[in-house]
């Protein structure tokens, strides 16, 4: 038997890992977390139909599609995507090491980088399966608020789903590199996602290009309400690259970080605690 | 060092920071069955990890089947490894797990399932192949690990403490299987800290202690030394007191004590003791025996003696 090629090996690791990942405690926990926006949307939908009336920001009524855009930006892009990326990405190999099952994968005739790649693909499938249903539910709950049209806003939903997949791919790749190279990847990942990224995005200059969020924000299609804290925040973010540039840069980030992570896994010794 | 060995180490050293795991080892493991014998912490696991490419040598070189093993995944098509740790994907059945692992060798789904079925048959787990691994007994877990090691019909099998924790009957079956694989032409390296286990599989041993190979060759030369030291056996059973009553009638049993649901025995004749224990377990007169382990204090004493000599 000869050594199977990288892609073929990665797909076999994907098959082996997806079920494990989907039914892990982490997925159950993050599944519950993803219920948060759905519950919030349900609450808004109920309140606007009963006691609250129209949803308002600074006294101005806000339509359903705009609220949906805010939820996508503030909850999914700025919070849920980095959280999923950090918790899954940093643990792609670490989970197998902690469970002491990595030996079975590293003593098969496949490149170690195929193990990382297969697990990354399983992460992507798993998180897409967790995130997309949540977003679709939020969409159907929120968009009709204030007379918004589900049909009219549908193209925007499709673009949002695509953007979220790109975001999951990007954050997952970045944090898989963090997990492969750094000793305390979870701490470093959380600092990157919730310290470094929000901070440098607030300042003008080139530093923000060393974030994933900078490129992701160019893919957000929603208009934000004016004369509000959110609109001020969006003005700060106004300096964004074009969609094509963003997609190209995110693709480069995914390719480069995965390649570096693969190299790190190939060269690293994993000493299992007895 | 000779070049003909299935595993050849040339001034091989491995250290973890300030701690030396293996120290300047040069050895050639011949084809056939070879036992790697040493107490816990002797360097057995480090040696096993180096010859399975999990660790990179700090100094020196190691080749397996004539090729360097580090960063050489293609070589694993010819090697089967049964690790020491009791770690599995617990939610999978034995058949699913072995099938998934042999698929990584590049075989198709149908062929992988057929190969897994044959491997499980070889380790006598066909009846339990559709059970979840989480529900397996310790002996079954050890055997399913062996199944994943031999499923792709490797020419070299590396078994790290394969009999650890097995009950006497499973232990006897496993020893028989390992001997059969050896007779069938496979090269096997099997590690243990229990001499009589190794002795029952092969006469060819490597003695390892404190990161060094102390001796290689025929097991019988150190056998007398071992017998001079009491051998401790921990037996977890349904009826430890009934077991103890049986043991008390035997001359070779030096002492007995109870720990929870287990009896700890010191014997001067481990081979006689294990043979009788297996017979007792097979007869079913004293209830089920769940686990048999042996601390390595006695072997450690022998090694200290050898080092001083």
Confidence of residue B108 (pLDDT cuts 50, 70, 90): very high
For the ranges A30-34, A175-179, B39-43, B201-205, the maximum mean pLDDT occurs at A175-179
| Mean pLDDT, residues A76-92 taken together | 94
Confidence of residue A1 (pLDDT cuts 50, 70, 90): very low
Confidence of residue A153 (pLDDT cuts 50, 70, 90): confident
By C-alpha distance, the chain A residue nearest B49 is A271
**A228 reaches B (C-beta below 8 A):** no
Identify the three-state secondary structure at position A208. Answer: helix
**A263 reaches B (C-beta below 8 A):** no
Rounded to the nearest integer, the mean pLDDT of chain A is 88
Domain ranges of chain A: 6-265
Rounded to the nearest integer, the mean pLDDT of chain B is 87
* Rounded-to-integer distance, Cα B202 and Cα B66, Å: 23
Of A74-83, A191-200, A227-236, B150-159, which range is least confident? A227-236
Interface test with A, best of B106, B109, B144, B151 (most A CBs within 10 A): B106
Mind listing the domains of chain B with CATH numbers? 7-224 (3.40.50.300), 230-308 (3.30.70)
| Mean pLDDT, residues A75-79 taken together | 92
**A271 reaches B (C-beta below 8 A):** yes
Residue B281 has pLDDT above 70, yes or no: yes
Which residues in chain B are closer than 8 Å to A100, comparing Cβ atoms?
83, 85, 87
Across the interface, whether the CB atoms of B85 and A12 are under 8 A apart is answered no
Write out the DSSP string of chain B.
--TTSSEEEEEEEEEETTEEEEEEEEEEEPSSEEEEE--TTSSHHHHHHHHTTSS--SEEEEEETTEE-TT-GGGGGSEEEE-SS----TTSBHHHHHHHHHHTTT--HHHHHHHHHHHHHHTT-GGGTTSBGGG--HHHHHHHHHHHHHTT--SEEEEESTTTT--HHHHHHHHHHHHHHHHTT-EEEEEES-HHHHHHH-SEEEEEETTEEEEEEETHHHHHHHHTS-EEEEEEES-HHHHHHHHHT-TTEEEEEEETTEEEEEES-HHHHHHHHHHHHHHTTT--EEEEE--SHHHHHHHHHHHH-
pLDDT at B225: 62
Give ipTM to 2 decimals.
Answer: 0.84
Q: What is the pLDDT of residues B202-222, one digit of tens each?
A: 888 898 988 998 877 776 666
| Mean pLDDT, residues B234-257 taken together | 86
Residue A204 has pLDDT above 90, yes or no: no
* Rounded-to-integer distance, Cα B190 and Cα A232, Å: 69
How many angstroms away from the CA of B96 is the closest CA of chain A?
10
Which residues in chain B are closer than 8 Å to A107, comparing Cβ atoms?
52-54, 76, 79, 81, 83
By C-alpha distance, the chain A residue nearest B107 is A1
Higher pLDDT, B246 or B229: B246
Q: What is the pLDDT of residues B19-67, one digit of tens each?
A: 899 999 999 999 999 999 888 888 999 999 999 999 999 999 999 999 9
């Amino acid at each position: 038997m000869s050594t199977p090629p990288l892609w073929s090996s990665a797909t076999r690791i994907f098959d082996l890992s997806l079920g494990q990942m989907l039914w892990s405690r982490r997925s159950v926990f993050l599944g519950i977390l993803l219920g948060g926006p759905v519950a919030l949307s349900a609450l808004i939908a109920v309140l606007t139909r009963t006691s609250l009336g129209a949803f308002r920001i600074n006294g101005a009524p806000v339509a359903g599609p705009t609220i949906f855009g805010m939820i996508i930006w503030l909850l999914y892009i700025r919070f849920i995507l980095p959280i999923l990326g950090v918790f899954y990405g940093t643990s792609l190999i670490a989970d197998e090491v902690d469970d002491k099952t990595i030996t079975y994968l590293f003593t098969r005739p496949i490149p170690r980088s195929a193990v990382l790649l297969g697990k990354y693909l399983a992460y992507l499938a798993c998180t897409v399966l967790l995130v997309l249903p949540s977003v679709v539910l939020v969409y159907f709950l929120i968009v009709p608020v204030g007379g918004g049209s589900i049909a009219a806003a549908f193209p925007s939903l499709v673009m949002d789903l695509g953007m979220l997949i790109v975001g999951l791919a990007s954050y997952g790749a970045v944090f898989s590199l963090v997990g492969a190279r750094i000793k305390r990847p979870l701490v470093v990942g959380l600092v990157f996602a919730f310290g470094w990224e929000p901070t440098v995005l607030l300042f003008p200059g080139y530093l923000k290009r060393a974030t994933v969020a900078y490129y992701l924000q160019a893919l957000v299609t929603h208009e934000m309400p004016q004369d509000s804290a959110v609109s001020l925040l969006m003005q700060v973010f106004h300096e964004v690259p074009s969609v094509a540039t963003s997609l190209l840069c995110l693709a480069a980030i995914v390719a480069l970080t995965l390649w570096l992570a693969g190299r790190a896994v190939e060269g690293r010794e994993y000493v299992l605690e007895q | 060092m000779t070049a003909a060995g299935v595993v050849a180490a040339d001034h091989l050293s491995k250290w973890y920071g300030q701690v030396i795991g293996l120290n300047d080892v040069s050895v050639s493991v011949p084809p056939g069955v070879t036992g790697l014998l040493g107490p816990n912490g002797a360097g057995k696991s480090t040696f096993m990890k180096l010859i399975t490419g999990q660790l990179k040598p700090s100094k020196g070189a190691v080749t397996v089947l004539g090729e360097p093993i580090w960063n050489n995944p293609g070589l694993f098509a010819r090697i089967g490894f049964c690790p020491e740790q009791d770690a599995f994907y617990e939610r999978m059945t034995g058949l699913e797990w072995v099938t998934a692992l042999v698929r990584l060798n590049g075989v198709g789904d149908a062929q992988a399932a057929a190969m897994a079925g044959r491997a499980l048959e070889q380790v006598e787990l066909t009846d339990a192949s559709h059970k979840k691994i989480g529900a397996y007994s310790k002996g079954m877990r050890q055997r399913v690990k062996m199944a994943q090691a031999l499923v792709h019909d490797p020419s070299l099998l590396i078994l790290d403490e394969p009999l650890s924790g097995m009950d006497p009957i499973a232990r006897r079956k496993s020893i028989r299987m390992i001997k059969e694989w050896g007779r069938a032409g496979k090269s096997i390296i099997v590690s243990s800290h229990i001499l009589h286990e190794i002795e029952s599989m092969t006469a060819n041993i490597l003695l390892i202690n404190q990161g060094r190979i102390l001796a290689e060759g025929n097991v019988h030369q150190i056998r007398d030394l071992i017998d001079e030291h009491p051998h401790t056996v921990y037996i977890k059973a349904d009826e430890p007191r009934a077991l103890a009553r049986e043991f008390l009638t035997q001359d070779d049993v030096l002492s007995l004590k109870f720990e929870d649901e287990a009896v700890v025995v010191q014997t001067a004749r481990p081979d006689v003791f294990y043979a009788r224990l297996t017979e007792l377990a097979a007869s079913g007169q004293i209830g089920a025996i769940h686990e048999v382990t042996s601390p390595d204090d006695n072997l450690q004493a022998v090694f200290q003696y050898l080092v001083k000599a």
